[in-house]
Amino acid sequence: MVDKIVKSDAEWREQLSKEQFKVARKKGTERAFTGIYHDNKEVGIYECLCCGEPLFSSETKYDSGTGWPSFWQPLNPEMVGEVPDRSLFMRRTEVVCNKCDAHLGHVFPDGPAPTGQRYCLNSAALDFKKKED
């Protein structure tokens, strides 16, 4: 069971930049190759920008060629939710943080082994914590 974080739009707007709010709270998408983490190769953990929940590890990050940070597996599947998304006349699966319901991106079944999944995420919904040496 996950303890949910619930805030009003006004509270989220105080905490997030305009772009972060658009992506994480209103299901927006940043343009490909513009996010700060799409080409990040440092070792560490990617957390939910809204609530700080650790969601993905650099160990499962790979270059999908799409222009967004891509991962083949979450750190803890219980913390990453999947929601049917039929917007834009497509059938996709939205990925959300289960702790605060932030929109992270989408997951597709065309990723590498061992999972075959491609969690295609927005940098604007993530915060990276570099591993300390």
How many whole angstroms separate alpha carbon 21 and alpha carbon 8?
A: 12
Name the active-site residue from 50, 51, 100, 120: 120
120 as an active site residue: the answer is yes
pLDDT tens profile 50-108: 999 999 999 999 999 999 999 999 999 999 999 988 887 778 899 999 999 999 999 99
pLDDT value for 29: 94
Model pTM? 0.94
Distance from the first to the final alpha carbon of the chain: 33
| Domains with residue ranges and CATH for the chain | 9-130 (2.170.150.20)
pLDDT tens profile 9-30: 999 999 999 999 999 999 999 9
